């Protein structure tokens, strides 16, 4: 017995597993079909949007391996104890950081999924204008009863007796009056209570019935609708008289609005708007990619800037330490006053505090950048110092274009501005649709019904007995309060869209002009900071020489070293600010083109 139970349990588990596998295969089929259709829609509209990547997918790639990256083998001295945590970490370049962010950033994935959902919505709107088939059927086993009224056997015999007596008289030649007497006697016998009593019998009836239906519905973009349905009914009695009843019918209906709701512009408004909404979503995603790259690049250089500030503060701290040691030696020989020595030692303490604070700021910015890349905060990575070194070696790349020319380029290149213009057209089109809804309803409908052949030939249609009809359905515009309000609201929305368009154009002009001014300011700041570094390096060298000769003043040493440290930090900040301002300027002009891995294409020549 236990063996049989185990075998039964095993069979049940196998059956359930098979059902689960079939269900999984079924759902995966729907998912794959949705992906194919959505990706085809996006690929169809991608050529209309400059900068949209060709190979779009929402499938999140696995975290790329970083085994090919170089490893930090030495703990940087300027990080102090924190430098030990960077030993063995992978060194991530800017290009690799952008690639990681594109593949792993949560916000980027959300934006891709939003675009996918917009295209998925369009698939349903397009599907509404394709032949939509439907079918089904059903079968049932029916049990019913009916009452059957019957006479008793005696009453049946008595009722037939007069006829029998008359027949005997005819055969035997018995006189008619005698026959009549016999008949009367029989009639009297029938009048005896209980002889002619009837009884009701309940009879069970069992039958099998079924029906099937197959139809197709087609919505036309001009507002019409075509519907064709084929129905069949089947009934068979399996008790009593085993009779069969079957019938079929082919019914078709065509409806076409002639006034309200007529024409592609009014009838297909939902589809038209859905098509345009997908185009807008593509433009928005392209704009997002530009902003995303600039943000990641800005964060990358901000981390390196903070790291460079740590390095500068460390050098300043070490320089003050050497100066303090030298001044202590002079003080021991009574060549320095206590006040001068105290000033240097106080500056040493302030510099050490600044260095410690900068280390904390650097580590925090690095952790935040890891989150931006979609990595855990304990991921063993450091950013490539060579990126900042290379940036310093190249200097700034300042675009040679005037603000007015940049504005002209932006007005024809910004994808979001195209969307604002198209949305103004949408508002204008919706005014037409709302005005169309104020018209009377006048629909032409034509219908035809073809029955099946008589008898059991339900599978054959009898077109000779086809019935058809045509008519008009009128809806007078006696109650149009809602439509009136919608029309007035559409007019207001159109005026708002026009104002929004002019506002969007003004904002684009403002963005570009502000970007140009910020870029020009960053250039001037960079040039000033570079001169400041050169000037303060000479001051520090002079103070070192004077200190070696024992004629330096503590205040001059402190000021020179602090100014050099500030100048170096300002130079790095100005360089990073100009680099990011340049990318933002290209973005605001609409000409920052992003590759699939998040890298940008450097703009070398712009003509208005």
**Residues 38-56: pLDDT tens digits?**
999 999 999 999 989 888 9
Please determine, for residue 8, whether its predicted confidence score (pLDDT) is greater than 80: no
Q: How far apart are CA 284 and CA 272, in angstroms?
A: 19
By residue count, the chain amounts to 608
Cβ contact 185:130 at 8 Å: no
Gap between the Cα atoms of 486 and 364, Å rounded: 54
What pLDDT does residue 3 have? Answer: 40
The most confident of the ranges 197-201, 342-346, 550-554, 575-579 is 575-579
> Is the torsion defined by CA of 177, 182, 186, 189 positive or negative?
positive
Strands 441-451 and 90-92: unpaired
DSSP for 93-122, written as a single string: PHHHHHHHHHHH-HHHHHHHHHHHHHHHHH
Q: SS3 for 210?
A: strand
pLDDT digits (tens, 9 = 90+) for 171-223: 555 555 655 665 565 556 555 555 555 667 776 778 787 888 889 999 999 99
pLDDT at position 421 over 90: yes
> Do the beta carbons of residue 566 and residue 507 sit within 8 Å?
no
Q: What would the pLDDT profile of 498-518 be if each residue is shown by its tens digit?
A: 999 999 999 999 999 999 999
List, as one string, the DSSP characters of 216-278.
EEEE-TTS-EEEEEEEEEEEEE-SSS--EEEEEEEEEEEEEESSTT-SHHHHTHHHHHHHHHH
* Both structure tokens of 314: 């460390």
Q: Percentage of residues in the chain with pLDDT exceeding 90?
A: 48
pLDDT digits (tens, 9 = 90+) for 9-31: 444 455 555 555 555 557 888 99
What's the pLDDT score for residue 184? 62
Instruction: Tell me which residue has tokens 């002639």.
Output: 258
**DSSP bridge pairs for 600:** 594
CA 133-137-141 angle, 5° bins: 175
- Over range 551-559, report the average pLDDT: 70
Q: Which of 547, 541, 537, 533 lies closest to 323 in space, CA to CA?
A: 547
pTM above 0.85, yes or no: no
Give pLDDT, residue 5.
41
Where are the domains positioned within the chain?
49-55+93-129+269-387+394-433+482-589, 133-143+207-219+224-260+441-475
pLDDT tens column, 466-505 = 888 999 999 888 888 999 999 999 999 999 999 999 999 9
Q: Find out whether 240 and 143 touch, Cβ atoms under 8 Å.
A: no
Using alpha carbons only, give the angle 481, 485, 488 rounded to the nearest 5 degrees: 140
Number of Cβ within 10 Å of residue 329's Cβ equals 12
CB 529 within 8 A of CB 574: yes
Cα–Cα distance measured from residue 254 to residue 447, given in angstroms and rounded to the nearest whole number: 6
Q: Give residue 190's pLDDT.
A: 55
CATH code that applies to domain 49-55+93-129+269-387+394-433+482-589: 1.20.1600.10
Chain-centroid distance of CA 50 in Å reads 21
**Mean pLDDT computed over every residue of the chain:** 84
């Amino acid at each position: 017995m236990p063996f049989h139970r185990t075998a039964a349990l095993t069979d049940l588990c196998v059956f359930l597993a098979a059902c689960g596998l079939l269900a999984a295969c079924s759902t995966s089929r729907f998912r794959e079909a949705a992906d194919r259709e959505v990706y085809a829609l996006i690929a169809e509209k991608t050529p209309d949007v400059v900068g949209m990547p060709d190979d779009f997918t929402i499938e999140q790639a696995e975290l790329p391996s970083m085994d090919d990256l170089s490893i930090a083998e030495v703990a940087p001295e300027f990080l102090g104890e924190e430098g030990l945590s960077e030993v063995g970490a992978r060194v991530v370049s800017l290009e690799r950081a952008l690639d990681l962010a594109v593949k792993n950033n949560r916000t980027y994935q959300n934006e891709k999924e939003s675009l996918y959902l917009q295209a998925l919505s369009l698939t349903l709107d397009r599907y509404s204008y394709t032949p939509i088939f439907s079918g089904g059927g059903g079968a049932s086993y029916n049990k019913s009863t009916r009452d059957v009224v019957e006479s008793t056997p005696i009453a049946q015999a008595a009722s037939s007796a007069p006829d029998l007596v008359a027949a005997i008289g005819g055969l035997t030649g018995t006189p008619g009056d005698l026959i009549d007497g016999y008949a009367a006697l029989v009639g009297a016998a029938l009048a005896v209570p209980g002889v002619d009593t009837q009884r009701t019998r309940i009879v069970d009836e069992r039958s099998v019935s079924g029906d099937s239906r197959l139809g197709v519905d087609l919505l036309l973009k001009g507002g019409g609708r075509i519907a064709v349905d084929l129905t069949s009914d089947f009934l068979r009695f399996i008790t009593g008289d085993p009779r069969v009843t079957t019938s079929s019918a082919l019914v078709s209906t065509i409806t076409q609005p002639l006034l309200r709701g007529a024409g592609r512009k009014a009838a297909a408004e939902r589809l038209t708007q859905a098509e345009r909404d997908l185009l807008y979503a593509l433009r928005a995603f392209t704009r997002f990619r530009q902003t995303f790259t600039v943000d990641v690049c800005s964060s990358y250089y901000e981390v390196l800037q903070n790291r460079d500030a740590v390095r500068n503060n460390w050098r300043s701290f070490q320089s003050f330490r050497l100066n303090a040691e030298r001044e202590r030696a002079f003080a021991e020989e009574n060549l320095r006053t206590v006040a001068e020595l105290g000033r240097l030692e106080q500056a040493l303490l302030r510099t050490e505090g600044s260095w410690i604070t900068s280390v904390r700021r650097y580590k925090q910015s690095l952790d935040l950048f890891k989150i931006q890349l979609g990595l855990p905060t304990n991921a063993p990575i450091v950013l490539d110092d060579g990126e900042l070194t290379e940036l310093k070696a190249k200097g700034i790349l300042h675009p040679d274009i005037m603000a007015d020319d940049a504005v002209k380029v932006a007005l024809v290149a910004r994808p979001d501005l195209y969307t604002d213009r198209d949305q103004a057209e949408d508002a204008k089109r919706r005014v037409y649709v709302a005005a169309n809804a104020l018209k009377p309803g006048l629909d032409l409908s034509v219908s035809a019904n073809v029955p099946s052949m008589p008898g059991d030939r339900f599978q054959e249609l009898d077109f000779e007995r086809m019935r058809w009809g045509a008519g008009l359905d009128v809806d007078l515009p006696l109650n149009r309060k809602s439509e009136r309000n919608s029309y007035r609201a559409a007019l207001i929305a159109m005026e708002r869209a026009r104002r929004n368009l002019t506002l969007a154009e003004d904002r684009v002009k403002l963005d570009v002009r502000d970007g140009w001014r910020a870029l020009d300011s960053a250039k001037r700041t960079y040039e000033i900071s570079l001169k400041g570094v050169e000037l303060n390096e000479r001051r520090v060298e002079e103070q070192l020489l004077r200190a070696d000769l024992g004629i330096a003043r503590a205040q001059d040493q402190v000021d020179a070293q602090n100014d050099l440290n500030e100048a170096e930090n300002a130079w790095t900040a100005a360089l990073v600010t100009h680099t990011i301002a340049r990318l933002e300027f290209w973005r605001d002009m609409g000409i920052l083109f992003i590759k699939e891995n998040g890298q940008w294409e450097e703009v070398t020549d712009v003509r208005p």
